[in-house]
Amino acid sequence: QPITSGSDHLLAEVVHAVQRECAVTLADILLRRVPIALTTHWSEEQSAEAADRIGRSLGWTERRTAEELESFVAERNWLIGGGRGSRAPLPAEHAA
């Protein structure tokens, strides 16, 4: 199944990134391992759809999926915006 409708990237790539490349967060998956969200054509709807599909594939709770989506959006906005303003917050598992 594709990560989002119309994408050539598959959920199998996500599973591979988690199992073999130590991807932990939605941002890590969509911005670094399978960097499909770095295009200017990426939309909020695609973010939500990808978070839902990835969350279900990885067995995330609805709460975790929502938290991952929020963190992903903040990090993507920071990256796309050229790093202006405050830096995107790190997920709890990366802070420390």
Tell me: the pLDDT tens digits for 31-85? 999 999 998 889 999 999 999 999 999 999 999 999 999 999 999 999 988 766 5
**Could you tell me the pLDDT band of residue 30, with boundaries at 50, 70 and 90?**
very high
Cα(57)–Cα(14) distance, integer angstroms = 9
Axis crossing angle, helix 44-58 with helix 11-20, rounded to the nearest 10:
60
Question: pTM of this prediction?
Answer: 0.82
pLDDT the model gives residue 84? 63
Cα(87)–Cα(92) distance, integer angstroms = 15
**Averaged pLDDT for residues 20-34:** 96
- Between vectors from CA 39 to CA 77 and to CA 7, what angle results, nearest 5°? 120
Pair of tokens at residue 30? 């969509």
